[in-house]
């Protein structure tokens, strides 16, 4: 799924595990910004029955709101971080990352509009997550919950794709999923950079804190979206298993020992 869009196509040696450079990420995001999967908007109706929409409509409203964040706090944190490490292009990478999230929000917004579902202005999960992000300026602490939510987003959009027969909604989910795979990779690689000089003991303590936070985030997503997840075939045990399988891969990717550093 992520193969076609993978930034690895812009990276050099394929047998060497190294984090992509900022320039490689920038090239990837610039290319991806003009890459649009076909979405059959011309369909006269959404192709989703009211019964099909019932368990997912409220949840879609909340994710649409979450994807629509203007990203000002992140852009400011990224700008400060980029200046500190002397890598100004990192700010441009984050700007393009924010733009892609807004693209997801716009796609979901159009889905809601076409289905006659009003857009929400507030949602408890979104408010909680926004407050958490806005209270944080440290790029590591900011990136950590984001990589967790994005990991769970991949399960969520998979569930929505399975819950509906609507070609439009399925195509939108496919676009979002294709974008999210590199998003998680970008955040994992950044965490690997940030954790690189930490002793192994402190690294493992950091991972313990990650596990505690992930449990909370996973439970919150289930609390807010279990109807939609179930509609897509994710019962609680299935969801929990899938969540940990994906997050374990992400944890491996943020381990600095995985990479060759030059
Ligand atoms: Fe997104
Ligand atoms: Fe994302």
pLDDT along the chain (262 residues), means of 10: 46 63 96 91 74 92 87 86 95 95 95 90 76 72 91 97 93 96 96 95 96 96 97 98 98 95 84
How far is the C-alpha of 234 from the C-alpha of 163, rounded, in Å?
10
Q: Which domains, from first to last, does the chain contain?
A: 22-31+51-255 (1.10.620.20)
Q: Other C-beta atoms within 10 Å of 141: how many?
A: 14
Q: In the prediction, which pLDDT does 207 show?
A: 96
Q: In the prediction, which pLDDT does 12 show?
A: 38
Phi (first) and psi of residue 40, to 5 degrees: -75, 65
Q: What separation in Å is there between the alpha carbon of 8 and the centre of ligand 1?
A: 20
Helix, strand, coil shares, percent, the chain, to 5: 70, 0, 30
Distances (CA, A) of 136 to 29, 53, 73, 146, 244: 25, 36, 9, 12, 25
- Under a CB-based contact definition with an 8 Å cutoff, are residues 67 and 101 in contact? yes
Phi (first) and psi of residue 258, to 5 degrees: -70, -25
Q: What separation in Å is there between the alpha carbon of 195 and the centre of ligand 1?
A: 25
Q: What separation in Å is there between the alpha carbon of 176 and the centre of ligand 1?
A: 6
Q: Considering every ligand atom, which ligand is closest to the CA of 67?
A: 1
Q: What separation in Å is there between the alpha carbon of 150 and the centre of ligand 2?
A: 5
- Under a CB-based contact definition with an 8 Å cutoff, are residues 76 and 247 in contact? no
How far is the C-alpha of 9 from the C-alpha of 5, rounded, in Å?
8
Q: In the prediction, which pLDDT does 139 show?
A: 84
Q: In the prediction, which pLDDT does 115 show?
A: 87
**Torsion 215-218-220-223 (CA) sign:** negative
Q: Considering every ligand atom, which ligand is closest to the CA of 146?
A: 2
Nearest Cα neighbor of 165 from 67, 45, 80, 78 is 45
Q: In the prediction, which pLDDT does 137 show?
A: 63
Please tell me whether residue 262 adopts helix, strand or coil conformation: coil
Q: What separation in Å is there between the alpha carbon of 95 and the centre of ligand 2?
A: 12
Q: In the prediction, which pLDDT does 136 show?
A: 65
């Amino acid at each position: 799924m992520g193969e076609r869009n993978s930034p690895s196509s812009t990276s050099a040696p394929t047998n060497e595990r190294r984090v992509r450079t900022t320039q490689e990420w920038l090239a990837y995001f610039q290319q991806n910004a003009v890459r649009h999967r076909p979405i059959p908007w011309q369909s006269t109706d959404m192709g989703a029955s009211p019964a099909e929409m019932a368990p997912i409509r409220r949840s879609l409203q909340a994710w649409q709101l979450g994807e629509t964040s203007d990203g000002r706090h992140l852009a400011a944190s990224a700008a400060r971080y980029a200046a500190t490490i002397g890598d100004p292009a990192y700010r441009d990478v984050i700007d393009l990352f924010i733009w892609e999230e807004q693209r997801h929000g716009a796609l979901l917004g159009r889905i809601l509009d076409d289905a006659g579902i009003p857009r929400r202005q507030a949602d408890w999960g979104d408010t909680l997550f926004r407050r958490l992000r806005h209270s944080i300026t440290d790029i590591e602490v900011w990136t950590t919950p984001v990589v967790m939510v994005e990991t769970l987003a991949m399960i969520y959009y998979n569930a929505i794709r399975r819950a509906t027969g609507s070609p439009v909604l399925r195509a939108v989910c496919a676009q979002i999923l294709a974008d999210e795979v590199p998003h998680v990779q970008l955040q994992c690689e950044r965490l690997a950079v940030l954790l690189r000089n930490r002793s192994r003991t402190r690294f493992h303590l950091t991972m313990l804190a990650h596990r505690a936070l992930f449990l909370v985030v996973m439970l919150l997503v289930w609390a807010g979206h279990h109807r939609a997840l179930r509609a897509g075939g994710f019962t609680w045990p299935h969801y929990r298993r899938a969540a940990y399988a994906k997050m374990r891969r992400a944890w491996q990717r943020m381990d600095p020992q995985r990479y060759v550093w030059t």
